[in-house]
Chains A and B, each alone.
Chain A
Amino acid sequence: MKSVILQTATRYMHPILLLFSVFLLLRGHYLPGGGFVGGLVASIAFVLHSIAYGTQQTLKILHFNPLSFITAGLALATLSMFLPVFFGYPVMTGLWLNQPFPVVGLVGSSLFFDMGVYFVVVGVVLTILFTISLESH
Chain B
Amino acid sequence: MELLLVITMGCLYAAGVYLILKRSMVRLLLGIILLGNGTNILIFLLGNIVKGHPPVIAGELQSLTDVYSDPIPQALILTAIVISFGLTSFAIVLLKRVYAIIQTDDLDNLNTPEEEDI
A and B touch in the complex (CB under 8 A): yes
Number of interface residues of A (CB under 8 A): 11
Q: Which of A1-47 contact B (CB under 8 A)?
A: 30-32, 36, 40
Complex Cα–Cα for A121 and B82 (A): 9
Residue on A with the closest CB to B90?
A128
For residue A97, CB closer than 8 A to chain B, the reply is: no
Is A132 an interface residue, CB under 8 A from the partner?
yes
Residue of B nearest to A39 (CB): B82
Contact of A128 among B54, B56, B89, B96 (CB under 8 A): B89
Query: Using a Cβ cutoff of 8 Å, how many contacts connect chains A and B?
Result: 19
Most buried by A among B82, B86, B93: B82
- CB pair B82–A32 under 8 Å, yes or no, is no
A31 near B93 with CB under 8 A, answer: no
Q: Is the interface of B mostly helix, strand, loop or mixed?
A: helix
- Contacting residues of chain A (45-99) with chain B, CB-CB under 8 angstroms: none
A37: nearest chain-B partner, CB-CB: B78
Q: Which of B54, B82, B86, B89 contacts A36 (CB 8 A)?
A: B82
Q: Are A36 and B78 in contact (CB under 8 A)?
A: yes
Please tell me which one of the listed residues A31, A40, A124, A129 contacts residue B86 in the complex, with CB atoms under 8 A apart. A124
A contacts, CB < 8 Å to B: 30-32, 36, 40, 121, 124-125, 128-129, 132
The 3 closest A-B pairs by CB, nearest first: A128-B89, A36-B82, A36-B78
